[in-house]
Amino acid sequence: MLDYTIIILGGKKVGRDNLISIIVPIYNAEKYLHECINSILNQTYKNFELILVDDGSNDKSWEIINEYSRKYNKIIGIKKKNRGSNSARKRGLEIASGKFIMFVDADDYIDKSLCSKLIYFMLSEDVDIVLSREMKILDGKKIGAIGKWPQGKYSGITIAENIINLNCFYSENMSGSLCADLFKKEIISPIFRSVDLEIFFGEDYACLLLALLDSKYVYFLEECLYYYRQNQHSTMHTYTRSNYTSTRYLYHFLISELKSRKSTSKIYKQIEYIIFYCLLLGGYEVFKAKPFLFPFKNVKNGSKIIIYGSGIFGGSLYNYICQYKKNNIVLWVDKKHTEYRDMGFPVFSIDSIFHTEYDYIVIAILRTEIALQAKKELEQIGINSEKIVLIDQALISFNELPKDF
């Protein structure tokens, strides 16, 4: 078992020049901010500065930041106008004095050994980025790690080609987040200088992809040492025009940036998948001219459908159909129907299917393995498999976007 608390390389302890600048963008995060900051202060690796950037909060976040910055010399507090998390990260990078950069979101927390393990592999493997895994937390309970990839050293482009599993839609080999990772400042700073701040949907993925393409080698740490808090009330999603617009900016930014970088067909496919992922979650209007319910090719307009799934995609699909009325929703079902009904959504039990006349059951779940499991369970209770439809992976293509996108 490696001791990461005292790091020795080549017979010498790691010097003070290996400072990590930890940047935390903050917006109305008073509920969890103490836990987040304390988890950082408790790191076994002490050679870090903590930059807390208040992005225009109107709760007590700034008071909490002041409380800590007065007590700890290594904490820097910044207050700015609200422009989004990437704007806050960019501001933090502008004053960061560390050789290495790490990002933590204000409602998350980290294991005390995260910094020491990331810096250990950064230095011992001589890489530009160290990636690690995130553990999802819901209501204080661990509900599963994000992604799965063999631990080891890889070329930057190899990891860039494999963030998303291209064999299905949608599944991640590793998190597309900027958190839980350690970057050389010289790698990540130029990307933030060029990133379009109008992008707030998929912005982490965009910055990570470009950083990987700019890196010679990266190291992937299989261990989960970052705890990502998932908010139950944010799992339902209301479509807004700004999400659609943000995804357009994301698309054009990435395509433009690839012109100056070595790229492959797999990289373009990665971008294709993330763009469609973002559109399905918050930009469904782009598909309104289709003669069928995208991306379910067999579901022609006018069909009577049951939506299975009340997560972000299910909510986006429900809102789209209610707005444009090209299909008839006869039922909306989910295993957790009671929770969603308590939040005010018209979601019913799976058993309700047997009392409803319909043409198709649309599995509104993006995660491939979960969607396949849902289909299997419906078949096991006697639902005709021909009436159950999943996302058609062949439709996840830039060819399906309108020319003016």
* CATH number for the domain whose boundaries are 1-114: 3.90.550.10
Domains 1-114 and 291-393 share a fold: no
CA distance 284 to 294: 9
Q: Which two tokens stand for residue 351?
A: 């058993």
Question: Domain residues of the chain, as ranges?
Answer: 1-114, 125-287, 291-393
Among 320, 300, 311, residue whose Cα is nearest residue 363: 311
- Report d(CA 27, CA 218) in Å as an integer: 31
φ, ψ (nearest 5 deg) of residue 357:
-90, 130
Answer yes or no: are the C-beta atoms of 96 and 24 closer than 8 Å: no
So what's the pLDDT on residue 200?
Answer: 87
pTM of the model: 0.90
Per DSSP (E only), the strands in 180-294 are: 182-184, 217-229, 292-293
Distance CA 146, CA 51 (A): 26
Contact 54, 65 (CB under 8 A): yes
Give the whole-angstrom CA distance, residue 182 versus residue 302. Answer: 50
Q: What is the pLDDT of residues 253-309, one digit of tens each?
A: 999 999 999 899 999 999 999 999 999 988 888 999 999 999 999 999 999 999 999
The pLDDT of residue 139 is: 84
DSSP H helical ranges for 138-240? 156-160, 185-194, 203-213
Rounded to the nearest angstrom, the gap between the alpha carbon of residue 77 and the centroid of all alpha carbons in its chain is: 26
User: In the prediction, which pLDDT does 4 show?
Assistant: 44
Task: List b or e across 28-57, with b for residues whose CB sees 16 or more CB atoms inside 10 angstroms.
Answer: bbeeebeebbebbbebbbebbbbbbbbbbb
Tens digits of per-residue pLDDT, 96-150?
999 999 999 999 999 999 999 999 999 999 999 999 999 999 888 898 898 889 9
Tell me how far apart the alpha carbons of residues 400 and 182 are, in angstroms, rounded to a whole number: 36
Structural tokens at position 227: 């705890």
In the chain, which stretches have pLDDT less than 50? 1-6, 8, 234-235, 237, 239
The alpha carbon dihedral of 89, 95, 99, 105 has a sign of negative
- CATH placement of domain 291-393: 3.40.50.720
